[in-house]
């Protein structure tokens, strides 16, 4: 066998250049997904990257199309670090979720191109697998304890070993669960959400879950950033008998400086980070002892390149990864999560999402959860494409999801975190 057998099918560096950069928005499941496509002068060689910031998707699309595209056309797509730094630094005032999602779309698209040029999946470019697949958790929810348990049992029957439990509370504060009627008819805001009632109800849910679900099933819970530090410690201690895999987002980002003391007092592992909007935010959570699991939304911190740095730091600090991965992560973003999962020794768990067949139509190659596991594609790059004709059938719109955060208030009328 001669060395020519391994010749790269793509032209050398001096013959490859970016010819266009554009954002595509689509909503096959009603949630706006933004994907960046980077084309080159080589026929058939292009890349796709996730830039999904659902609540501000139009701003991301404009940022990519009107500001970043003109910086990148004509440049060599293999200089991923240089091009993403160029995109970050040319605005002078930098950072934030709009900027970072736009950069993420470019970053991940360039990794896709690199994988296609090398004839390798992205996870091999990152050093190859340290595990075959990523274990996942899915969300069980309901209006009552019994409804939540039934939903969890359905997921367990599908092969899930990790299940997040969320139960309704009046006022919409039972994040991820259906709305239920008010219990505060005489309050200034009659459909308000009460932290004290939430703290009372939640341990009862997990007591029932441990009684009715198989003992080996790992249980998780998302507070969604609505507690004070003292309330967070109280909840963590109340949940200690039920051996949670982790307790998620106990404090709002404004109070993340208090996380180390909450974590030190908590018998339950603490998972935080989906609201990080920069690499530096994520680094501080890992470095300063605030988390057991780092849960950043990869596109919100600038893409695969930055997330890989966080994973490396997490490994050094004894922190595990649990990348954010709900339905407002595009299938490209989900593939990036899994590439990190299977290549990092710091992996802890992966939030999963079951995409509809409409999403699979728009994004051929979208990963499917198999018995609770996510396996990466083995095709070059991400192994996922974008059917723009199918995407056009599901246009992204400024819908109620863009304003969903305005609905949670306390009984006295004070606006609460989303």
Structural tokens at position 295: 């849960």
Q: Per residue in 330-355, is it b (16+ CB within 10 Å) or e — as a string? A: bbbbbbbbbbbbbbbebbbbbbbbeb
Going by pLDDT thresholds of 50, 70 and 90, the confidence category of residue 403 is very low
Going by pLDDT thresholds of 50, 70 and 90, the confidence category of residue 1 is very low
Helix ranges restricted to H, 213-303: 229-238, 259-265, 279-287
* pLDDT at residue 193, rounded to an integer: 84
Neighbour count for residue 146 (Cβ, 10 Å): 11
pLDDT at residue 264 greater than cutoff 80: yes
Active site residue 189: no
Q: Do 383 and 356 meet the contact criterion of CB atoms below 8 Å apart?
A: no
* DSSP-based three-state secondary structure for 272: strand
Going by pLDDT thresholds of 50, 70 and 90, the confidence category of residue 414 is confident
Query: Taking every pair of C-alpha atoms in the chain, what is the biggest distance, in angstroms?
Result: 83
Rounded CA gap, 34 and 293, in Å? 27
How large is the average pLDDT for residues 383-405? 83
Going by pLDDT thresholds of 50, 70 and 90, the confidence category of residue 173 is low
Going by pLDDT thresholds of 50, 70 and 90, the confidence category of residue 406 is low
Rounded CA gap, 321 and 310, in Å? 9
Rounded CA gap, 395 and 168, in Å? 31
For 130-165, write each residue's pLDDT tens digit: 999 999 999 999 999 999 999 999 999 999 999 999
How large is the average pLDDT for residues 383-403? 86
The closest alpha carbon to 227, from 186, 287, 270, 264, belongs to 270
* pLDDT at residue 5, rounded to an integer: 42
Strands, E, within 105-245: which ranges?
134-142, 162-167, 218-222
The closest alpha carbon to 38, from 115, 126, 119, 108, belongs to 108
* pLDDT at residue 60, rounded to an integer: 97
Instruction: Name which of 82-91, 103-112, 309-318, 345-354 the model is least confident about.
Output: 82-91
Catalytic residue, candidates 175, 184, 198, 242: 175
* pLDDT at residue 271, rounded to an integer: 98
How large is the average pLDDT for residues 304-315? 98
pLDDT at residue 237 greater than cutoff 80: yes
More confident residue, 379 or 180: 379
* pLDDT at residue 128, rounded to an integer: 97
Rounded CA gap, 281 and 185, in Å? 41
Query: Which phi and psi angles does 9 have, rounded to 5°?
Result: -75, -15
Q: Which residues contact 144 (CB under 8 A, 6 or more apart)?
A: 167, 168
* pLDDT at residue 2, rounded to an integer: 40
Rounded CA gap, 285 and 263, in Å? 11
Q: Are strands 134-142 and 46-50 parallel, antiparallel or unpaired?
A: unpaired
More confident residue, 15 or 106: 106
* pLDDT at residue 117, rounded to an integer: 96
Rounded CA gap, 244 and 164, in Å? 10
Q: Do 228 and 168 meet the contact criterion of CB atoms below 8 Å apart?
A: no
Rounded CA gap, 67 and 87, in Å? 9
The closest alpha carbon to 117, from 201, 19, 215, 40, belongs to 40
Structural tokens at position 90: 């040319």
* pLDDT at residue 58, rounded to an integer: 96
* pLDDT at residue 14, rounded to an integer: 72
> Average pLDDT of the chain?
93
Catalytic residue, candidates 123, 221, 224, 297: 224
* pLDDT at residue 30, rounded to an integer: 94
Q: How many angstroms separate the Cα of 234 from the Cα of each of 221, 240, 255?
A: 15, 10, 16
Query: Which phi and psi angles does 366 have, rounded to 5°?
Result: -50, 135
Q: How many angstroms separate the first and last alpha carbons of the chain?
A: 60
How large is the average pLDDT for residues 68-87? 95
Instruction: Name which of 48-57, 184-193, 361-370 the model is least confident about.
Output: 184-193
For 35-47, write each residue's pLDDT tens digit: 999 999 999 999 9
Neighbour count for residue 398 (Cβ, 10 Å): 11
Q: Which residues contact 12 (CB under 8 A, 6 or more apart)?
A: none
Active site residue 224: yes
Instruction: Name which of 106-110, 223-227, 382-386 the model is least confident about.
Output: 223-227
Rounded CA gap, 416 and 413, in Å? 9
pLDDT at residue 6 greater than cutoff 60: no
* pLDDT at residue 9, rounded to an integer: 62
Percent of the chain scoring above 90 in pLDDT:
82
């Amino acid at each position: 066998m001669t060395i020519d057998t391994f010749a790269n099918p793509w032209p050398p560096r001096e013959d490859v250049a970016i010819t266009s950069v554009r954002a595509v928005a689509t909503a096959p499941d009603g949630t706006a997904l933004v994907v960046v496509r980077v084309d080159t002068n080589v026929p058939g060689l292009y890349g796709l990257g996730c830039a999904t910031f659902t609540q501000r998707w139009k701003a991301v699309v404009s940022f990519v199309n009107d500001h970043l595209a003109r910086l990148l056309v004509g440049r060599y797509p293999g200089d991923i670090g240089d091009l993403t730094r160029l995109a970050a630094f040319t605005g002078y005032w930098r950072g934030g979720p709009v900027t970072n999602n736009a950069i993420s779309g470019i970053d991940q698209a360039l990794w896709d191109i690199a994988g296609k040029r090398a004839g390798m999946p992205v996870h091999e470019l990152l050093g190859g697998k340290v595990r075959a697949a990523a274990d996942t958790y899915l969300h069980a929810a309901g209006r009552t304890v019994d409804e939540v348990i039934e939903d969890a049992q359905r997921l367990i029957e599908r092969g899930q070993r990790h299940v997040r439990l969320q139960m309704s509370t009046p006022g919409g504060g039972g994040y991820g669960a259906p709305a239920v009627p008010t219990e505060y008819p005489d309050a200034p805001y009659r459909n308000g959400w009460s932290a004290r009632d939430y703290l009372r109800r939640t341990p009862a849910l997990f007591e029932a879950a441990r009684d009715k679900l198989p003992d080996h099933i790992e249980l998780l819970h998302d507070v969604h950033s609505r507690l004070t530090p003292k309330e967070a410690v109280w909840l963590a201690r109340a949940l200690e008998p039920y051996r949670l895999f982790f307790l998620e987002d106990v404090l709002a980002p404004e109070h993340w400086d208090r996380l180390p003391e909450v974590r030190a007092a908590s018998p339950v592992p603490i998972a935080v980070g989906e609201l990080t909007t920069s690499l530096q935010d994520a680094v501080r959570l890992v470095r300063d002892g605030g988390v057991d699991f780092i849960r950043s939304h990869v596109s919100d911190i600038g893409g695969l390149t930055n997330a890989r740095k966080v994973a490396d730091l997490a490994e050094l600090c004894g922190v595990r990864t649990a990348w954010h991965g709900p339905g407002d992560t595009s299938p490209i973003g989900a593939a990036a999560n899994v590439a990190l999962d299977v290549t990092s020794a710091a992996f802890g768990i992966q939030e999963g999402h079951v995409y509809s067949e409409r999403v699979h139509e728009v994004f051929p190659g979208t990963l499917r959860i198999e018995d609770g596991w996510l396996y990466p594609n083995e095709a070059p790059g991400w192994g996922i494409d974008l059917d723009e004709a199918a995407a056009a059938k599901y246009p992204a719109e400024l819908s109620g999801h863009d304003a969903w955060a305005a609905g949670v208030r306390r009984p006295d009328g004070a606006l609460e975190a989303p």
